[in-house]
Structure 1
Amino acid sequence: MPTQLSPYLSYDGNCADAMRFYAELFGAKLEALITFGQMPQDMPCPPGGEHRVMHAHLVHPGFSLMAGDTPPGMAYRGIQGAMMAISFDEPAEAQRVFAALSQGGTVTMPLAETFWAQTFGMVTDRFGTPWGINGGPKAMPAAPAQG
């Protein structure tokens, strides 16, 4: 199997809703959605965690996304210091996704043209996931040679 880097997001009881939303939004397949209550008998479920998601896995031809709810008794601190960056060939698709993620969320940078894309914006969706949405990439200068 080739090496693949996949984000693993943490939620506070709304992981199932978030992953179902992302599956529909991106036309992806939700391959796994396992709650703590569905764990094998030899791995007891934390009290109060029966309906919290232990592991979710979303698969799309262009990416893979994994997530889970924090276990009961573990402090949830939100998603900090990172954002999900996604790029689309067409600005219209970036606009569609940005609009969907903005519903009930917080726009931190409205869509606008940048030097790297015809459109770019940042939003934290209603599930608390920060996103950077790119549409219509522009040519970038080559990185300097390492020496």
Structure 2
Amino acid sequence: MTIINPYLNFNGNCEEAFTFYKSVFGGDFVSLMRFQDAPGHQPGSAHANQIMHVSLPVGSHTILMGSDRPASLGEGAFGDNFSISIGTTSQAEADALFHGISADGHVTMPLDNTFWGAYFGMCTDKFGINWMVSYDPNALPAS
């Protein structure tokens, strides 16, 4: 089985974003490392307390991961050319996750029944990450 885990980069607010994601998905961080914890790190640098790596399980086979991207590592444009798609096991789970992840963000397509038979919605969270949430009672179970 191939597993794809999204890895998000932030411009200094990774910890805030992942604390928010943890409040939505629950669970605990598997890993949370700061740049100051790395061997050879220069004490007193501007990004010392920023997140070098964080991982949060969000399902039985998926881990949401991320880090801050300090200017010294080539800070770039924040991408909006992707969405994280979440498949849920019930309409109630879809509602809970969608309402949690869209809090203080922007709903681009409210959750509703679609012509293809799924209960589906899209939003952008308050950190600029695009999400798609779906419950499809006709979908084949993951193997």
Shorter-chain-normalised TM-score: which range? 0.7 to 0.9
Post-superposition offset of 1:136: 3.5
Unmatched runs of 5 consecutive residues or more in structure 2: none
Post-superposition offset of 1:10: 0.8
Post-superposition offset of 1:43: 4.2
Question: Once the two structures are aligned, what percentage of the paired residues are identical?
Answer: 34
The answer to whether 1:66 aligns with 2:65 is: yes
TM-score, normalization by structure 2:
0.83
Contact 1:30–1:57 under 8 Å retained in 2: yes
Runs of 4+ in 1 over 4 A off after TM superposition: none
- Report the Cα distance in structure 1 between the residues aligned to 2:30 and 2:123, rounded to whole angstroms: 26
Per-residue CA deviation, residues 70-117 of structure 1 (Å, 9 max, x unaligned), is 123433422321111001121111111111112110111111211344
Helix, strand or coil at the partner of 2:136: strand
Contact 1:115–1:138 under 8 Å retained in 2: no
User: Greater share of strand residues, 1 or 2?
Assistant: 1
Q: Which has the larger radius of gyration?
A: 1
- Report the Cα distance in structure 1 between the residues aligned to 2:55 and 2:43, rounded to whole angstroms: 20
Aligned residues: 138
| Structure 2 match to 1:88 | 88
- Report the Cα distance in structure 2 between the residues aligned to 1:51 and 1:116, rounded to whole angstroms: 46
**Partner amino acid for 2:23?**
E
The answer to whether 1:121 aligns with 2:121 is: yes
TM-score, normalization by structure 1:
0.81
| Structure 2 match to 1:143 | none
1:114/1:120 Cα in 2 relative to 1: closer, same or farther (>3 Å)?
same
Post-superposition offset of 1:131: 0.3
The equivalences for 1:20-59 within 5 A come to 20-40=19-39, 42-44=40-42, 47-59=45-57
Q: CA RMSD in A?
A: 2.2
Helix, strand or coil at the partner of 1:29: coil
Contact 2:35–2:50 under 8 Å retained in 1: yes
